[in-house]
Amino acid sequence: MSTATQSQDKPLNGDPATSGASWAGFIRFWSSVKLGITMILAIAVSSILGTLVPQGDPSGLLNSPMSDQAKQILLALGAHNVYYSWWFLTLLTVFFFNLAMSTWFVCMPKLRVALKPPRPMSEASQERLHLDRLALPAVEQEKLVDLLRAHRFRAFAFDNGQIVADKGRISRFSALITHIGLFTLLIGGLASGLAGFKSQAPLFVGQSMPVDDIVKVAHQQGFLAPGHYDWSVQLDQFRMDYYDPTTVRQFYSNLTIQRPGKAPETHEIYVNKPLRVDGVSFYQSFWGVGGAKLSIGNEKRQIEMTNAQRFKLEGSVSRQLDIGTGQYFLYLPDHRAPLQIVELHTLQPVAALEKGHETTLNGEKVSYLEPALYSGLQVKADPGIPIVYAGFFTVVLGVSLAFISHRQLWITRRSTGEYLLSGTANRGRFTFQQELLKITSKLGTTA
């Protein structure tokens, strides 16, 4: 076969029928309810995973009571960082596209049809299709129209004596408004996952930290999170209120925000009263003992301490501390308890100092000044929160509209001059029947 003959056998632009079928299949797949339900289930399962697995620092997952293999699988999936992971954001994006296709190709055509006035119907069709039927006396058509409009129906009269009417059309917007709300929720979720971050900042009194440094150590951070903040936060004071000598009621942090070219701003935060600056929120999240302030000889020192849980003890413990020729470590069971100085090799306590008291070890005078408490701040930026709230209330509005009954009426003039009244309602049929009886009672009705 020649080359010319081969070129004639191949269509230049493809088969239009095949292209049309492919496009129809594409629309059918991406606008399908099954795909939407699948995405909702996948997002729900992901959210459950994000609830069960500690989020943020992977150490929370590593310390959980499960097999090492399960931990490795969850770490590989990013289960400790679900809401900022690429696969969770992909689920939101796919659901967004499915919702857009469903809205445009399914919801909108149905809405356009539903908003049209009811079409006239023959008497035989009314008898066959409608269960709710009543006979009306022979009256002027205008009187019937006025009566229906008095009951807030949208009425249309025809020259052949027929009348069609409906009300509650706003319920037809329920699906569209719900879709808009879901769109808004997804946009908010994507904004949070792509442009938000969540970090922690333990600060000692007098310590200042650039916000940039706080963001850099964030375990939860979106791909598009802002990369530069030119201001810092400083902890001026940390204090606590107590229910009793051992139970903390509330803890407070006084913070100073230092921004270039602006006067310092001082704010007090506590649990349930955060501080928001330039889209960044500071929450009073936790507190702890980060060290002990001592006077050893003529030198004041702050000895760093860490959580003693790894030694199966409550409180905080320090590393090796040299005092004179001896080697010790510090143990503080509680920030209000006496500080214990323990000999390193024998593990025997050699002193227990109340705050403000002193002792002598190896010729060195040791005074316990106070515990060095730190304020634990949770620092986060979440641009999606107001969008999510707007989406939530929009969904609630859309679902609420679905409870409004859409009622349609058909009135046909019979050969006797009387009228046949019939109608349908998508919900609240008993109430609809009562309304029909009220309408007919104002005209007088026959069985």
**322 in Cβ contact with 392 (< 8 Å):** no
Number of domains in the chain: 4
pLDDT for position 415:
84
Burial class (CB in 10 A: 0-12, 13-18, 19+), 264: exposed
Residue 238 and residue 253 in contact, taking contact as beta carbons nearer than 8 Å: yes
Q: Does the pLDDT of residue 380 top 60, yes or no?
A: yes
Q: Is the residue at 183 inside a domain? A: no
| Mean pLDDT, residues 358-363 | 90
Which structural domain, as residue segments, surrounds residue 157?
Answer: 119-168+406-441
> Are 237 and 293 found together in one domain?
no
Same domain, residue pair 385 and 272? yes
pLDDT score of 185: 94
By the 8 A CB rule, do 423 and 410 touch?
yes
- The pLDDT of residue 224: 79
More confident residue, 23 or 97: 97
Q: Are residues 271 and 382 in the same domain?
A: yes
State mean pLDDT over 39-51. 92
Kindly state the average pLDDT of the residues 9-25.
65
Provide the pLDDT for residue 15. 61
pLDDT at 6 over 60: no
Q: How confident is the model at residue 1 (pLDDT cuts 50, 70, 90)?
A: very low
Q: Are 76 and 139 found together in one domain?
A: no
Q: What is the mean pLDDT of residues 168-175?
A: 91
* C-alpha span between 376 and 381 (Å, rounded): 17
pLDDT for 445 equals 55
- At a CB cut-off of 8 Å and minimum separation 6, what does 125 contact? none
Can you give the pLDDT at residue 7?
Answer: 44
108-150 pLDDT, tens per residue?
Answer: 888 888 888 888 888 899 989 898 888 888 888 999 999 999 9
DSSP of 33-44, one letter per residue? HHHHHHHHHHHH
What is the per-residue pLDDT for 22? 85
* pLDDT of 18 above 80: no
Q: Round to whole Å and give the CA distance between 157 and 173.
A: 25
- Residue spans of alpha helices (H) in 263-364: none
Residue 447 banded pLDDT, cuts 50, 70, 90? very low
Q: Please indicate, yes or no, if residue 74 is contained in any of the structural domains.
A: yes
| pLDDT number for residue 444 | 66
Calculate the average pLDDT of the chain: 88
Say whether pLDDT at 225 is over 90. Answer: no
Domain check: are 331 and 311 in the same one?
Answer: yes
Q: How confident is the model at residue 446 (pLDDT cuts 50, 70, 90)?
A: very low
Q: How far is residue 80's CA from residue 85's CA, in Å, rounded to a whole number? A: 9
How do residues 55-92 score in pLDDT, each as one tens digit?
877 777 777 778 888 888 888 888 888 888 889 999 99
- Say if 383 falls within a structural domain: yes
Q: What is the pLDDT, as a whole number, of residue 45?
A: 93
200, β-bridge pairs: 378
Q: How much is the average pLDDT of 357-372?
A: 92
Return d(Cα 384, Cα 281) in angstroms, integer: 13
**245 and 360 fall within a common domain:** no
Q: In this structure, is residue 230 part of a structural domain?
A: yes
Secondary structure E strands in 126-260: 132-136, 154-157, 163-167, 197-204, 208-210, 220-221, 232-242, 248-258
| Amino acid 237: pLDDT | 93
Residues 259 and 391 in one domain: yes
| 411, part of any domain | yes
Segment 254-304, tens digit of pLDDT: 999 999 989 999 999 999 999 999 889 999 999 989 999 999 988 999 999
* 264 and 386 both lie in a single domain: yes
Q: What are phi and psi of 218, to 5 degrees?
A: -70, 130
Position 180 scores a pLDDT of 94
Residues 338 and 354 in one domain: yes
Average the pLDDT over 219-239 and give the result.
86
- 188 within domain boundaries: no
pLDDT tens digits for 306-340? Answer: 988 888 888 899 999 999 889 999 999 988 899 99
Please report the pLDDT score of residue 14 as a whole number. 54
Residues 6+ apart with CB under 8 A from 241: 248, 249, 250, 251, 252
How many other CB atoms are there within 10 angstroms of residue 45's CB atom? 11
Regarding whether 297 and 353 lie in a shared domain, the answer is: yes
Question: Would you state the structure tokens that stand for residue 376, as one six-digit string?
Answer: 């634990």
Coil, strand or helix at 30: helix
Q: How far apart are CA 206 and CA 238, in angstroms?
A: 10
CATH of the domain at 152: 3.30.310
Evaluate whether residue 89 is within a structural domain. yes
Asked whether the predicted pLDDT for residue 401 surpasses 50, the reply is yes
What's the CA dihedral at 414, 415, 418, 421 to 10 degrees?
A: 0
Instruction: Give pLDDT tens digits for 407-444.
Output: 999 999 988 888 999 999 998 889 999 999 998 888 86
Contact 253, 237 (CB under 8 A): yes
Residue 400 placed within a domain: no
Q: Report the DSSP pairing between strands 208-210 and 197-204.
A: unpaired
**pLDDT(392) > 90:** yes
The share of the chain scoring above pLDDT 90, in percent, equals: 54
